[in-house]
Amino acid sequence: MTHDTLTPDTIVLIHGLWMTPRSWEQWVPYYEAKGYRVLTPGYPGFEMEVEALRDNPDLIADLTVPETVDHLAAVIESLDTPPIIMGHSFGGTLTQLLTARGLGAASVAINSAPTEGVRVTPPSQIRSFFPILSNPANYHRAVGYTAEQFHYVFANTLSREDSDAVYQRYHIPAPGNWVWAYGLIANFKPGKQETWVDYSQSDRAPLLFIAGGDDHIMPPSVNRSNAEHYGKSTAITDYHEFPGRSHWTCGEPGWEAVADYALDWAVEHASVAHIRRDELA
């Protein structure tokens, strides 16, 4: 079997909270120009434009994590061959959950929200979540950030003017119950929660964590800890940090370096994983 036959031809990009598939609008043509088919499935109910969801956020207020994982899994399972899966922020959590289901040829979690069991909560992360968690009623609402809060949480490496432009183009309210489903909240509940994965699982695709050195809401320490939780698995798990980059790393200047690193790693390790499975067959 040659390297070409081992290389996935499809990339599935999964957006994060407070965003829609529009957040990948620079990555899609960039990867398509490299010869890939690129899919950007939205969460159920997120098929509308950003402006429409801002006007009527109640449409997505009750969406759950399990519903979303099932929806995305159906998209991936409908493909002829396993794709590369990449997710940003909570999309990184969803990427981990999909990978745990045995989906994908290789997976990349970028500035990922934690899965259950990751107990690192730096001060900047607590500050980032405070506007959402400070009011328990937000559990049942779709809630977002102000432009000022967004600048701190998402785009702290940009000027306020540039951050406001990103805010106007991409930001939407998001289901408040999802924040309670994050690993840092799930850790205080008994039993397995919505973001639980089996970290010791070895029959899964290779998984890369990419962190931004100046990310406030999902700092490097969170992503590093998340990656280290997979230490008992014999499947490939890697971690890479880009210094000086914010949570908006997929859109801030220099995003091409992140996109290139993610794709190069995924292609290389998808091939290795297939060879290993062939050897074990």
- Domains delineated in the chain: 3-280 (3.40.50.1820)
pLDDT tier for residue 55 given thresholds of 50, 70 and 90 = confident
Task: List the single range of 92-101, 112-121, 243-252 with lowest mean pLDDT.
Answer: 112-121
pLDDT tier for residue 187 given thresholds of 50, 70 and 90 = low
Element (H, E) at 141: none
| pLDDT at residue 58 greater than cutoff 50 | yes
Q: Which residue has the higher pLDDT, 63 or 208?
A: 208
**According to the model, what pLDDT value does residue 256 have?**
98
**Does residue 153 contact residue 170 with C-beta atoms inside 8 Å?**
no
The β-bridge relationship of strands 142-143 and 174-175 is antiparallel
pLDDT tier for residue 3 given thresholds of 50, 70 and 90 = very low
Summarize the confidence of residues 159-165 as an average pLDDT.
98
| pLDDT at residue 280 greater than cutoff 60 | no
**According to the model, what pLDDT value does residue 273 have?**
58
Around Cβ 190, how many Cβ atoms within 10 Å?
5
Task: List the single range of 58-67, 162-171, 243-252, 271-280 with lowest mean pLDDT.
Answer: 271-280
Burial of residue 175 (number of CB atoms within 10 Å: 0-12, 13-18, 19+):
buried
| pLDDT at residue 2 greater than cutoff 50 | no
| pLDDT at residue 182 greater than cutoff 70 | no
